[in-house]
Amino acid sequence: MYKILRKRRLCDKVNEYVVEAPNVAKHAHPGQFIILRPDEEGERIPLTICDYDRERGTVTILVQEVGYTTMKLAAIPEGGCIADFVGPLGNATELDGYNDIVLVGGGIGTAVIYPQAKHLKSIGKPADVIVGARNRELIMYEDEFRAAARNLYLTTDDGSYVRKGFVTDVLKDLLDGGKKYDCVFAVGPMPMMRAVANLTKEYGIKTIVSMNTIMVDGTGMCGGCRLTVGGQTKYACVHGPEFDGHLIDWDEAINRSKTYRAEERRHVCMLTGEKQ
Ligand code: FES
C-alpha cells in the first residue's frame, strides 16, 4: 500500500497528491509515468510523474476527476492509501540537446511540462513556457513556473486571465514576433497537441508531444496504447510516451482515445447517481 502524505486541491476537479513510494522516486525521471489502482477491485490508470523527491522517497502526481477511477481516487483522504503504484514506466524525456525550447501545456498537461521546466533551468537552459486553460480557475502552478521558466505566457479560452485565446495563438505570436525555437514540447488534450503540431510544421520546428493514451498493462502486452507514428505501429507505454508530433496519425489516436467513453459514462453515473 502507498500512503498519500499530502493532498491539496489545485483547481476545480484537480488534486495534487504526494505519495510515499521510495522505489519509484529513486528511479524516476521527468517524462515518465506510473500506473495505479486506487483499490484492489479498481482499474489501472496511467498518470504522469509530476515531481519526485529521492531523499524523502515521494512522488507527486496530479489527478483530474474526469472518470470513475479518478473520482474514486479523489475520495481517498490525505493519510489514506493507494493499493498499487507501479513505476517509473516509459522513457524519460530527452530535451538536454536542444538550446532554445518552448514548453506548451494545456489543462492537466501542465503537470508534465513542470518537471521539464525545472530540469531545463537546473542545467542552465531555462525554457519559455506557455500554459493554457479554459478559465482563470484552471490555471495551475503559476508561481512554480514563474520560478522555473525564462518567460511565462498564460492564456485562457474565455479571456478571464491575462489574454483570451489558445496556446497556439500565443505560440504563433511568438514565432511571428521573431522567436527562434529549436524544439517545441507540447502536452495536453490530443486536439491541442495536434493543433500545436500542425502550426509548428509550417515553421519547420521539431515538435515533441506526450501521448496520454488508454493504457492497461503498461508493458507493451495489451495493445491498449497503440498508435501509428510515421506509418509504424508504436506503443505509448514502451516506445513513448513522447513522440514526434509531426508523425502521429492524429485521427486514429483521437478515435482510439474515445473507445470506452460510453462505458466510462455508465460507471460515472452509477457512482454519482446521475442519469446517463
Ligand atoms: Fe498495454 Fe501499452 S498499455 S501495450
Atom of ligand 1 nearest to the CA of 216: 3
Q: What is the pLDDT of residue 266?
A: 67
The tens digit of pLDDT for each residue in 260-270 reads 666 666 666 66
Looking at every residue in the chain, the average pLDDT score rounds to: 91
Strands 101-106 and 84-89, by their bridges, are unpaired
Q: Whose CA is nearest to atom 4 of ligand 1?
A: 220
Q: Does the beta carbon of 235 sit less than 6 angstroms from any atom of ligand 1? A: yes
From 34, 86, 222, 233, mutation site for ligand 1 pocket: most ligand atoms within 8 A of C-beta: 222
User: Residue 86: what residue type?
Assistant: V
Q: How far is the CA of 226 from the centre of ligand 1 (A)?
A: 7
The tens digit of pLDDT for each residue in 83-142 reads 999 999 999 988 889 999 999 999 888 878 988 999 999 999 999 999 999 999 889 889
Atom of ligand 1 nearest to the CA of 220: 4
Q: Point out which residues pair with 185 in neighbouring strands.
A: 103, 208
Residue ranges of the chain with per-residue pLDDT less than 50? none
pTM for the predicted model, two decimal places: 0.89
Sign of CA dihedral 240, 243, 248, 252: positive
One-character DSSP codes across 209-236: EE-----SSSSSSS-TTEEEETTEEEEH
> Which letter does DSSP use for residue 150 in this model?
S
- What is the rounded CA–CA span in Å between residue 227 and residue 133? 26
User: Residue 213: what residue type?
Assistant: T
User: Residue 263: what residue type?
Assistant: E
Q: Max CA-CA distance within the chain?
A: 53
